[in-house]
Amino acid sequence: MAFSFTVIKKDSTSRARLGRLVTAHGEVETPAFMPVGTHASVKAMSPRDLDEIGCQIVLGNTYHLYLRPGVEVVRELGGLHRFMGWRKPILTDSGGYQVFSLGALRKISEDGVRFQSHLDGSGHLLTPEKVVEIQQDLGSDIAMVLDECIPHPADREYASASTLRTVRWAERSLNARNKTDMALFAIVQGGMYEDLRTECARELTALPFDGFAAGGLGVGEGEAALRAMGEFTAGLLPEDRPRYLMGVGRPEDIISAVRAGYDLFDCVLPTRNARNGSLFTSAGKINIRRAEYASDARPADESCDCYCCRNFSRAYLRHLHQSGEILAAHLLTLHNLAFYHRLMESVRNAIREDRAEPWLRDSELKLQQSESR
């Protein structure tokens, strides 16, 4: 089945919109959050758990899967969906951010990125063409082009050269694709320079990409700059293609980005926070490690109907976490991801029912107030 995207409904007072992605492995109603399954697994969750909380799509990572277990293993075992037992859509990140994180272990040139594996020190070269080939072999529904994630701060000369290289890499990526059922998204870079982002978006949107992402945000620029540049970048992207804000995942930031017109989000925040004992609830975040919960009979969130909240007390969850039990990671992660998916379902319903702006405004205010407590 060919990839398609349809805007079903637009909010009349903001850029928020309700959409539908169609892929070879099913449909995704947007706005949607994608749990991060870097190594073909969302940490502490089974595919059945993800399905039961309403997850529509997950994210895998090209860099990590290329290094381990190796793309040949995944391809020979039937592709990433069969390998990880997930029947719904998968988006794979190109690995550009992971390479950015390697620092001295990588060297960027016009050819691509030469780097040393963080696993065994072996040398590798990822080119734009190689990254597309890997994602095709994995059987991705949505693939990302190789880009260079610009750090913050970055001087203008570096940001300009990097942005132009990202555009050239995107063109090479498009030419390398030969699977018609795999969507390919380009990534708009440009650092904190509006004119560079404008130029990058103009070049990329002139090409037949299936969707576009805003990259290079959430890398230390601060909340105000993140929101301002995220909104600015969204305004540069075509309305008839999906817009993906990469790696930004605080609930209040997602709500702000929905208002700006983004459709897809991913972040490790809900799963990482869970493993550290931090839970998202309708009344704000709680740290289950605190002594005050040692005999607390309430569920993590009294307004949540996930498996964790239906069956277990805060006292039990604290006991599991303090005891180092594996079950703690599972239950807390399940709850946090259920919170995120319920949030996305609520915003979709608000757009559908013509009450998006008051819902977005009230939810953002409530989240900000709970963060300050």
Specify whether the CB–CB gap between 132 and 80 falls below 8 A.
no
Q: Return all residues near 62 (Cβ < 8 A) that are at least 6 apart.
A: 92, 93, 94, 95, 131, 134, 135, 138, 144
Angle at 285 between CA 217 and CA 359, to 5 degrees: 70
pLDDT of 372 strictly over 50? no
Dmax over CA atoms of the chain, in Å, equals: 60
Specify whether the CB–CB gap between 82 and 44 falls below 8 A.
no
pTM value > 0.95: yes
Specify whether the CB–CB gap between 139 and 128 falls below 8 A.
no
Q: Which of 316, 280, 302, 331 is nearest to 49 (CA)?
A: 331
- Rounded Cα distance between 273 and 325, Å, is 16
Residue 10 in tokens? 């637009």
Q: Return all residues near 277 (Cβ < 8 A) that are at least 6 apart.
A: 287, 288, 289, 321, 328, 332
Kindly indicate the confidence band of residue 257, based on its pLDDT and cuts at 50, 70 and 90. very high
**Least confident window among 48-57, 98-107, 205-214, 322-331:** 98-107
Kindly indicate the confidence band of residue 267, based on its pLDDT and cuts at 50, 70 and 90. very high
Angle at 226 between CA 185 and CA 275, to 5 degrees: 80
Q: What is the pLDDT of residue 371?
A: 66
Residue 55 in tokens? 């997850």
Secondary element (H or E) of residue 341: helix 326-352
Q: Per-residue pLDDT tens for 103-116?
A: 778 899 999 999 99
Q: Per-residue pLDDT tens for 228-238?
A: 999 999 999 99
Average pLDDT over residues 81-109: 89
Looking up tokens 């990433």, which residue turns up? 80
Q: Per-residue pLDDT tens for 7-35?
A: 999 999 999 999 999 999 999 999 999 99
pLDDT of 296 strictly over 90? yes
Amino acid sitting at position 359: W
Amino acid sitting at position 169: W
Average pLDDT over residues 111-134: 94
Domains and CATH numbers, the chain: 4-264 (3.20.20.105), 268-373 (no CATH)
What are the φ and ψ backbone dihedral angles of 254, each rounded to 5 degrees? -65, -45
Q: Per-residue pLDDT tens for 169-178?
A: 999 999 999 9
Higher per-residue confidence, 191 vs 117: 191
Active site residues: 93, 266
Q: What is the pLDDT of residue 146?
A: 96
Q: What is the pLDDT of residue 1?
A: 64
Q: Which of 218, 327, 338 is nearest to 275 (CA)?
A: 327
pLDDT of 293 strictly over 80? yes
The total number of residues shown for the chain amounts to: 373
Secondary element (H or E) of residue 322: helix 314-322
Residue 156 in tokens? 């203008």
Q: What is the pLDDT of residue 95?
A: 83
Percent of the chain with pLDDT over 90: 91
Q: Which of 235, 223, 225, 165 is nearest to 198 (CA)?
A: 235
Distance of CA 134 to the CA centre of its chain: 19
